[in-house]
């Protein structure tokens, strides 16, 4: 196996469940696709090749555990309307559904590839991609086929909204029945938008339970617009993650803390809809594992930048820079039930980001600045 020594690291952040170790004047050795050694540069072993990091900061590749990348069309007019004072609601999703259904596979694949490339250039080495803009058996299946070309973390989101011309009861039966049967072989996860204007608690539970029976893990869009049953259902069904978590009751916070369900916060959505941000400090104080993700989608969070979300988390949700970086790495991995990513320790996949900065603090200290100098995935330089 070929080995690479990353030397002259100014600051190495390793990331783990205890908060992550920070090593100054560090080095890291990669063998094949995995991390083999981390520690002080003075103690580094020999390797076949040496990469001089030049005093820069190195941290794990970002793990974006919530993204909607398979779509067509544009919702610029909707964004302008919101910036002019209109309130965001879920109904705009149907606009994207219509455009996605009309688009050729090649068009959808090209858009997805462009967004994944953007993400990679900004340090994201693992991304989850949902369906949810097809809402027919054929279109949901082809969305997952396209997503699967870019990631193993694919999510069936047939229960995004109820499409026009179909009753809610009929659509729930379709999603939990033939649509799920067609899509489950192409997905690792199932998700439901459990929210007013989309699916209520009983409908969400029925669909998610069918997904569990089909062998899929559970994720839930929960509590974006108001307190609702989404978090309770996520905890009841053993979901990996409850996503948004903007409006939580005390019982919701307790349930997240005791169940181990990750609270995935999506500050890009609040930024893009001028909505209140989640109370990250409340969740962290309760011992909840928090993840950050982009929620990249054409309607409510059209950003592919995890560094931007880190800056928002620090500025708007009062997370410390360390808490935000941990949520964007280790937290995202936990939200995908992965222990091989989001950390830099022996045995983990060699996914790392080299920042053109002396510390990860600069991700929030210098918002909007392209600080990602290099990206390595599985021991290979990809950006």
Which residue numbers belong to the known binding site for N-formimidoyl-L-glutamate?
133, 297, 299
Q: How far apart (Å, rounded) are the C-alpha atoms in residues 376 and 8?
A: 16
Handedness of CA 146, 150, 152, 157 (dihedral sign): negative
Among 10, 15, 14, smallest CA distance to 25 is for 10
Phi–psi pair at 130, nearest 5 degrees: -100, 155
Q: How far apart (Å, rounded) are the C-alpha atoms in residues 189 and 203?
A: 17
DSSP 319-331: --HHHHHHIIIII
Sheet holding 262-265: strands in order across? 129-130, 154-159, 189-194, 217-222, 241-244, 262-265, 290-292
3-class secondary-structure state, position 28? strand
Which residue numbers belong to the known binding site?
66, 68, 75, 133, 160, 221, 224, 295, 297, 299-300
Which residue numbers belong to the known binding site for Fe(3+)?
66, 68, 221, 295
Which residue numbers belong to the known binding site for 4-imidazolone-5-propanoate?
75, 133, 160, 224, 300
Q: How far apart (Å, rounded) are the C-alpha atoms in residues 79 and 257?
A: 35
Helices 93-102/137-147 angle, 10° precision: 80
Among 119, 102, 193, smallest CA distance to 156 is for 193
Contact (Cβ atoms closer than 8 angstroms) between residue 352 and residue 378: no
Which residue numbers belong to the known binding site for Zn(2+)?
66, 68, 221, 295
């Amino acid at each position: 196996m070929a080995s690479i020594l990353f030397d002259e690291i100014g600051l190495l952040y390793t990331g783990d469940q205890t908060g992550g170790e920070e090593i100054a004047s560090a080095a890291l050795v990669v063998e094949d696709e995995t991390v083999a050694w981390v520690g002080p540069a003075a103690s580094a072993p020999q390797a076949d090749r040496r990469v001089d990091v030049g005093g820069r900061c190195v941290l794990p590749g970002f793990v974006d555990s919530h993204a909607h990348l398979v779509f067509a069309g544009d919702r610029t007019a909707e964004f302008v309307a919101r910036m002019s004072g209109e309130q965001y609601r879920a109904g705009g999703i149907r606009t994207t559904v219509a455009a996605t259904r009309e688009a050729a596979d090649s068009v959808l694949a090209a858009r997805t590839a462009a967004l994944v490339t953007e993400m990679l250039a900004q340090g994201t080495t693992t991304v989850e991609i949902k369906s949810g803009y097809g809402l027919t058996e054929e279109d949901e299946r082809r969305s997952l086929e396209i997503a699967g070309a870019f990631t193993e973390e694919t999510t069936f989101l047939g229960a995004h909204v109820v499409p026009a011309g179909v009753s809610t009861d009929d659509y729930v039966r379709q999603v939990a029945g033939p649509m799920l049967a067609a899509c489950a072989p192409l997905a690792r996860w199932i998700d439901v938008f459990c929210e007013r204007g989309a699916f209520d608690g009983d409908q969400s539970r029925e669909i998610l339970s069918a997904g569990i029976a089909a062998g899929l893990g559970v994720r839930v869009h929960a509590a974006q617009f108001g307190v609702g049953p989404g978090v309770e259902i996520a905890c009841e069904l053993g979901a990996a993650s409850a996503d948004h978590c903007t409006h939580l009751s005390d019982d919701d916070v307790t349930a997240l803390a005791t169940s181990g369900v990750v609270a995935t916060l999506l500050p890009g959505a609040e930024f893009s809809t001028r909505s209140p941000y989640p109370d990250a400090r409340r969740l962290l104080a309760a011992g909840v594992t928090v993840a950050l993700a982009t929620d990249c989608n054409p309607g409510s969070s059209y950003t592919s930048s995890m560094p931007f979300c880190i800056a928002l988390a620090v500025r708007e949700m009062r997370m410390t820079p360390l808490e935000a970086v941990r949520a964007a790495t280790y937290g995202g991995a936990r939200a995908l039930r992965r222990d091989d990513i989001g950390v830099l320790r022996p045995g983990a996949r060699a996914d790392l980001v080299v920042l053109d900065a002396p510390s990860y603090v600069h991700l929030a200290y210098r918002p909007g600045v392209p600080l990602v100098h290099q990206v390595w995935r599985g021991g290979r330089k990809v950006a």
